[in-house]
Copies of this chain bind each other. A is one copy, B any other.
């Protein structure tokens, strides 16, 4: 009898063209499906909670799939990790209800963005930290981040919003900016995010931190919803982690 599984996995996105199948480059999905096909002895389609872009990382990505010949979740974790490359690791696995959907059932997501703000970026932080040597005004960024919280039309902070089938309105539950020495961590939670929305919001906050935009510009853009322009740069992918996904 076929069984549905929910798995939570982490990956280092450095070597991948993103989570989802891409025309060019290897996707994380591809690596997972190769292993699942081997274990199931026939092709398995895996359904992820979201796309992620090239170079973006995940600490708690969620996906579902069905197995024709079920194996206990604990054995599944070990069997998958034995065959996956080291930069993808299954952390948890469980049987799920037959209609569980990793994307549609997600009630919210948390992303974190890591930015190092000092004269020099230590080489060992390069894979997972964006960097700026320009001294950032953290208080201004915190003020600006707070304006994002709530239900807004984020069309000004999304790349190619035309690709979105439905609305560009999303609900952000919280958005914090914390600085510990040279390490600045942006943490944002919301019910969903548009294409490149997190990196666009962070890109804009960094401009606020540099004094190039006032914090109030966020409120103004969420109100007036101008088309996305060069005012909103996309922060580098390597600083971004899909941290966790929330389900009911």
Partner of A123, one of B87, B124, B126: B87
Partner of A128, one of B86, B121, B124: B124
Residue A43, interface by CB 8 Å? no
Partner of A10, one of B57, B81, B86, B122: B122
A221 to B10, CA, bound (A): 42
A81 to B120, CA, bound (A): 8
* A91-B120, A120-B91 given; A126·B86 CB < 8 A: yes
Q: Which of A1-46 contact B (CB under 8 A)?
A: 10-12
Residues of B within 8 A of A88 (CB): 123
Residue A89, interface by CB 8 Å? yes
Could you list 26 A-B pairs, sorted by A, with CB under 8 Å? A10-B122, A10-B123, A10-B124, A11-B123, A12-B123, A12-B124, A12-B126, A57-B123, A57-B124, A59-B124, A81-B120, A86-B121, A86-B123, A86-B126, A87-B123, A87-B126, A88-B123, A89-B120, A89-B121, A89-B122, A89-B123, A90-B120, A91-B120, A124-B127, A124-B128, A127-B127
- Size band of the A side of the interface? 20 to 34
A120 to B84, CA, bound (A): 12
Not counting A87-B126, A88-B123, A89-B120, a sample of 17 additional A-B residue pairs whose C-beta atoms are within 8 angstroms of each other reads A10-B122, A10-B123, A10-B124, A12-B124, A12-B126, A57-B123, A81-B120, A86-B121, A86-B123, A86-B126, A87-B123, A89-B122, A89-B123, A90-B120, A91-B120, A124-B128, A127-B127
Residues of B within 8 A of A123 (CB): 10-12, 57, 86-89
Q: How many copies does the complex hold?
A: 2
A121 to B89, CA, bound (A): 8
Majority secondary structure of chain A interface residues (helix, strand, loop or mixed) = mixed
Binary contact track A98-127/B, C-beta < 8 Å → 1, others 0: 000000000000000000000011111011
Q: Footprint of B on A, CB under 8 Å?
A: 10-12, 57, 59, 81, 86-91, 120-124, 126-128
Residues of B within 8 A of A86 (CB): 121, 123, 126
Residues of B within 8 A of A89 (CB): 120-123
Residues of B within 8 A of A90 (CB): 120
